[in-house]
Amino acid sequence: MARPTGTKRDFLRLTDLDRSELLELLERAAEWKLLGKRGPRPLEHSTIGLVFEKASTRTRVSFTVAAHQLGADTLMLSPRDTQLGRGEPIRDTARVLSRYLDCLVVRTFEHSKLEEMARFASVPVVNALTDSSHPCQLLADLLTVTERFGADVLAKGGLSVAWIGDGNNMANSWLEACVLLGFDLRLACPEGYDPDPQLLARTGGRGRVVRSPAEAAAGAHVVNTDVWASMGQEQEAEERKRKFAGYIVDEALMRAARPDAIVLHCLPAHRGEEISESVLEGPQSAVFDEAENRLHAQKALLELLLAPR
């Protein structure tokens, strides 16, 4: 796919792509999946910095392998290893790292820190998760949806998606996907745990918050969930277990969805809390395809942002 004009382009939210770019990127991700390890290496002689303040398995490994398969090297930078952990201003770190590296993949807490990094970096900055959004995971999720329901399902409309549980960063990124693609999105969240109201308003009514998981799942093609307490919310875990009781994706809930519905979960999963063992390991689960697709979607993303035109 053609790289857009301009000297630097960031990917901080899904809506940093327009609709056609998103659909084209997903198509390219499917091509990268078919090519496997033996595809072209458009990023040779590039080095990508992984600036991770949060623990990570899938994001760290998938970006490292994606970069390697595209011909690039990676450098892992945690707060323990850098002056960021000792209070160096983000603006200074961003400007210095830009002199050495070709891209910064950043996983952090406050979205404002990511935005500051992008404002001062002269190389592309990629959001590898913040407390308010997780757009790289959405690329993998949408790729998985096209694999199960056909390449045109996102372009032609008619898709129905359910979100069950916390209105967290993943829920926000699904709202952004709804803004771009216009599918029906119902989010079942306990009161007090709704997603970003501004993003919800931008869906023009296609995204709705409900309180009943069964109402959200009714007739859905895709049923999503995530842990009830995300990283940094561990002290709220017991309270959240009480508030989220009943917001579990189990076989009874899946009977409300379409017979061919799939289940997505960005992992790690807490079996028996937000999702039952039988659903996670059952025939409707697309969770491990979804995890693999992080690799292919991020190859397409890095190619878009970094490959020579």
- Confirm whether 226 is a catalytic residue: yes
- Confirm whether 265 is a catalytic residue: no
DSSP for 179-235, written as a single string: HHH--EEEEE--TT----HHHHHHTTTSEEEES-HHHHHTT-SEEEE--SS-TT-GG
Please tell me the distance from the alpha carbon of residue 283 to that of residue 262, in angstroms, as a whole number: 9
- Confirm whether 69 is a catalytic residue: no
Helix (H, G, I), strand (E, B) or coil at 162: strand
- Confirm whether 137 is a catalytic residue: yes
Catalytic member of 13, 28, 107, 240: 107
Catalytic member of 226, 240, 296, 298: 226
Catalytic member of 28, 69, 137, 240: 137
Catalytic member of 266, 284, 296, 298: 266
Please tell me the distance from the alpha carbon of residue 89 to that of residue 286, in angstroms, as a whole number: 41
- Confirm whether 189 is a catalytic residue: no
- Confirm whether 102 is a catalytic residue: no
Catalytic member of 13, 60, 134, 221: 134
Omega within 30 of 0 (cis) for the link into 268: yes
Neighbours of 23 (CB within 10 A): 19
Structure tokens at 178: 């709804």
**Which positions are annotated as active-site residues?**
107, 134, 137, 226, 266, 294
